[in-house]
Structure 1
Amino acid sequence: MNADIMLADRRRTVVESGSGALEVIVPDADAAVRWASHEYPNSLAKWHHHPQIEFHLIREGSGLMMAGDCVVPFRAGHVALIGSNLPRNWVSDVKPGERLARRDVLCHVRPQTMKALMACFPETARFNLVLRRAARAMVLSGESAQAAGALLEGMGDHDPARRVADLIELFGVFADAPETEASTVVTPGYDLELNSDTERTVNEAIAYVTENLAGEISLEEAARLVSMSPSAFSRFFKRAAGIGFSDFVRRLRIGRAKRMLATTDRAVARIREECGYDNASNFNRRFLDETGTTPSAYRKAHRKAGRKPSDNADR
């Protein structure tokens, strides 16, 4: 494992207090810019928040990004900037026992550090808009995402001084991204009171869903696991995660089906079962609602786009 990664992970901990569960990231004594890479699943990959702003690149896999009150799909190449203390999580679609060794890359810096930079160098004043937009989770696409992703990857091979230059260039990419390649996804005015019980409950519910995606999942069982009534849990999850519990389950299941249709030769019926749907008509209806097309048409379109299957139907 990269020495930088091991050192960084040893300096991460979670403090639970009356004011909330907070991921404490202790920076290097001689560095204001922190870079790390993680595999998945990972104990650090959960719904959490911290004071640092976070540049985040997904290198492999697909799933759902949760930030504030929004849930958006991601796949390899996804780049996002998450503001200070905005709760976030990236839930990857993995099979039981599967690990993504190079799932993501991230860069942390305190907003105060950037404000000090802007005070000393007026040339960087435009970065202030990036900081404000980060409070609503900024997502890049197209050439802007490619440029930001390359910078985040390159940081891992650079010394601390070079990473400062990378960070400034990274902010420049976000500042210069055209409207067609940059968007914010959190509702304006979003404000969730974070506390240890909120974060623990959300993470327990997410763990229950991801561990049982191919089997039976019920609102009642999720509520029982977190010691809440079904109605109270339903309201809580929608407010905290920004999406209804059943909608969250559906989007994860259909996301898995899309990946398997595009990358494997498995029969549609088998894929349906592995995504937790016993009934073909229900699966087809949910898939159509989520994607606007049928499973067979989706597979055909992705085969035309040149994607090759990764395994056979009889595996």
Structure 2
Amino acid sequence: MKAEYRSISPSPGSSFRTSIFEGKEFIASWHFHSQYELTYILGSSGIRYVGDNMANFEYGDLVLVGSNLPHCWKTVGEQKEDVKCIIIQWDEDLLSDWLEKEEFQHIKQLMQLASRGIHFDKEKAKKVESKMLELIELPPFERLLSFLQILQELAVNANYKYLAGQGFTSNLTVKESERVNLIYNYVKEHHNQQISLDAVAEKVAMNKESFCRFFKKTFRKSFFEFINEYKISMATKMLINTDLTASEIGYKVGYNNLSFFNRQFLKFVQIQPSKYRKMYRDI
């Protein structure tokens, strides 16, 4: 057994599962399942984790994760609306016989690419939104046909980018997966403070040296690089959604030194905070 395993059952009368999740926040911890999963965000925002990748999510976020690839979505900061998303989950066996047919070659390639997780461009995501919403109400046979049309549309016409790194390994024990969830939650709760290595290592019942080796092996980055990446992700969201100054935002996400905040922002975003804000507001 690898990360926290989730058992998923098909929707009644169907060979795959289609559902809408609504709530104050996402309740799933970092987990995996054998099914492929296509998730489209309709409401709320926060940080998405897929393998060793961390990125912001908001309305219009469309992601495909492959079989057994650990993932989770977490709301962060003040929310203006509740979480709402469409989730489609299916076993590889659903399409296994068809994938050898010439007509399904594009979908076959898409599913192969999903082993690292795929994020689709918002323009294409918006175009399949209505079809995804309709799946909930369609009769089983029409639902399957519409689902295949969605996959074909994404496979042929969508721009995408990989999420998890090529060398990411999801071969974690249950205990290691629990540690990852504790780390995620700890950083979420304390990201605007100075997080000490001793404190987080103690939280997961490890000594400092063992914790550093575990984190580096799992995520191919140091824990402090992860913290700064998290803080900057929060900062980008605030630059777009608030009128706070860059120095105020830097302070709110846990930087007491504006110069250091600017350096970290440039490192992870490749642009200065002021230019980043202007870029989005000029759209």
TM-score, normalised on structure 1? 0.79
Please point out which of 101, 125, 138 is paired with 1:145: 125
Residue 167 of structure 1: how far off its partner (Å): 1.2
Residue 278 of structure 1: how far off its partner (Å): 1.7
Residue 137 of structure 1: how far off its partner (Å): 1.3
Alignment partner of 1:277 is 2:259: no
**Residue of structure 2 equivalent to 1:13:** none
**Residue of structure 1 equivalent to 2:30:** 47
**Residue of structure 1 equivalent to 2:5:** 22
Residue 282 of structure 1: how far off its partner (Å): 1.7
- The 3 A distance-change label for structure 1 pair 196 and 116 is same
CA–CA distance in structure 2, aligned partners of residues 21 and 262 of structure 1? 34
CA contact (8 A) 2:106 2:156 kept: no
Please point out which of 106, 111, 114 is paired with 1:131: 111
Residue 241 of structure 1: how far off its partner (Å): 3.6
Deviating more after overlay: 294-303 vs 216-225:
294-303
CA contact (8 A) 1:155 1:163 kept: yes
Which amino acid in 2 is paired with 1:164? L
TM-score, normalised on structure 2? 0.87
Which amino acid in 1 is paired with 2:187? V
Which amino acid in 2 is paired with 1:299? R
Query: Per the alignment, in what secondary structure is the counterpart of residue 124 of structure 2?
Result: helix
- The 3 A distance-change label for structure 1 pair 185 and 296 is closer
Query: Per the alignment, in what secondary structure is the counterpart of residue 194 of structure 2?
Result: coil
Residue 248 of structure 1: how far off its partner (Å): 2.1
CA contact (8 A) 1:262 1:299 kept: yes
Please point out which of 12, 16, 22 is paired with 1:33: 16
Please point out which of 195, 205, 224 is paired with 1:217: 195
CA contact (8 A) 2:64 2:118 kept: yes
- The 3 A distance-change label for structure 1 pair 71 and 266 is closer
Which amino acid in 2 is paired with 1:137? G
**Residue of structure 2 equivalent to 1:286:** 264
CA–CA distance in structure 1, aligned partners of residues 128 and 220 of structure 2? 27
Which amino acid in 1 is paired with 2:124? S
Alignment partner of 1:59 is 2:39: no
Deviating more after overlay: 210-219 vs 55-64:
55-64
% same residue: 26
Residue 47 of structure 1: how far off its partner (Å): 1.0
CA–CA distance in structure 2, aligned partners of residues 299 and 25 of structure 1? 41
Which amino acid in 2 is paired with 1:156? I
Alignment partner of 1:74 is 2:47: no
Which amino acid in 2 is paired with 1:49? F
Residue 256 of structure 1: how far off its partner (Å): 1.7
CA–CA distance in structure 1, aligned partners of residues 18 and 192 of structure 2? 35
Alignment partner of 1:260 is 2:238: yes
Give the root-mean-square deviation of aligned CA atoms: 2.6
Unmatched runs of 5 consecutive residues or more in structure 2: none
CA–CA distance in structure 2, aligned partners of residues 80 and 257 of structure 1? 22
**Residue of structure 1 equivalent to 2:279:** 301
Unmatched runs of 5 consecutive residues or more in structure 1: 1-17, 306-315
CA contact (8 A) 2:232 2:265 kept: yes
CA–CA distance in structure 2, aligned partners of residues 215 and 19 of structure 1? 32
CA–CA distance in structure 2, aligned partners of residues 247 and 89 of structure 1? 20
- The 3 A distance-change label for structure 1 pair 210 and 113 is same
Residue 190 of structure 1: how far off its partner (Å): 4.2
Please point out which of 91, 100, 113 is paired with 2:94: 113
Instruction: Give CA-to-partner distance per residue, 1:185-225, whole Å, 9 cap, x none.
Output: 33446433232112111000000001112223222211110
Aligned pair count? 282
- The 3 A distance-change label for structure 1 pair 246 and 151 is farther
**Residue of structure 2 equivalent to 1:3:** none
CA contact (8 A) 2:30 2:180 kept: yes
